[in-house]
Amino acid sequence: MNFPPAESGTKGKLLRAAAHVFAEKGYIAATVRDICQRADANVAAVNYHFGDKKNLYDAVLRRLFSECEGPSEQELDTSLPAEERLAAFIRRSVLEIYGDSDLNDDYGQLAALFLMELAHPSENWPNLIHEYMLPDSLLLHEIVSKVLGPHSSPEKIRQCCISIYGLMAHHALCWPIISVIHDDHPELRSFRDRLAEHVIEFALTALRGIKDNHNESHTRLA
């Protein structure tokens, strides 16, 4: 949640403070007074700069999504081996999901905001998904269908794509469970890179095996 220095006035301070407070307490429990106090601003500032509380929340959410990077050249280069592109996709996605550790001092708030939306999606949540997550998802679909080869059903491809997201996101979403059950689990921050490599191993191993299974059953039928 790092905002460009351009918005360093009251409006920018409000956005930063709102991101923090919304994430910490949730949309309803977060009060305009909380946010303004944290932003060193008057109670009326929110309504002056954003109209109302809901508009401020929408601005925070949109800002959050817009910070996502796009895919790297490696992922897009269709001349490279599909497995290599998948590894690059997973490394970048895990980095995005778990934050840039050093730069970003308030990871976890991000996950909290995300979980809130998943529990009770706001009005323009579908728009944000379409705009910011669909392109990545289509790229993953293209890569996975190549890894799986020509004999895989559309449903199997889709299930594998969703499974890969599940592998990547689970720590971020279910940390309040994982940290209780595995009380010796390393902190998310220090664990991020190892997680990426594990997901790559787990997903690639599964995809290769599934490809072979389906090829076998395909040639057996032929």
The CB density around residue 153, as the number of other CB atoms within 10 Å, is 10
Tell me, residue by residue from 6 to 35, as one string, x for binding to a second copy by CB under 8 A and - for no binding: -------------------xx-xx------
* Selection from 53, 58, 55, 7 nearest residue 34 by Cα: 53
In sequence order, the 6+-apart residues with CB closer than 8 A to the CB of 3 are 12, 15, 16, 63
CA-wise closest residue to 200 among 76, 71, 87: 87
- Of positions 55, 66, 209, 216, contacts a second copy by CB under 8 A: 209
Helices (H), 104-149: 109-119, 125-128, 134-148
Tell me, rounded to whole angstroms, the distance of Cα 136 from its chain centroid: 11
Which listed residue (3, 7, 10, 115) binds DNA by CB under 7 A? Answer: 10
Stretch that binds DNA, among 41-49, 82-90, 127-135, 176-184 (CB under 7 A): 41-49
Of 35-43, 76-84, 92-100, 175-183, the window that binds a second copy (rule: CB under 8 A) is 175-183
Using the rule CB under 8 A, which residue among 31, 43, 72, 134 binds a second copy? 134
Of the ranges 48-56, 64-72, 85-93, 123-131, which one interacts with a second copy (CB under 8 A)? 123-131
Positions in the binding site for DNA (CB under 7 A): 9-10, 30-33, 41-49, 52-54
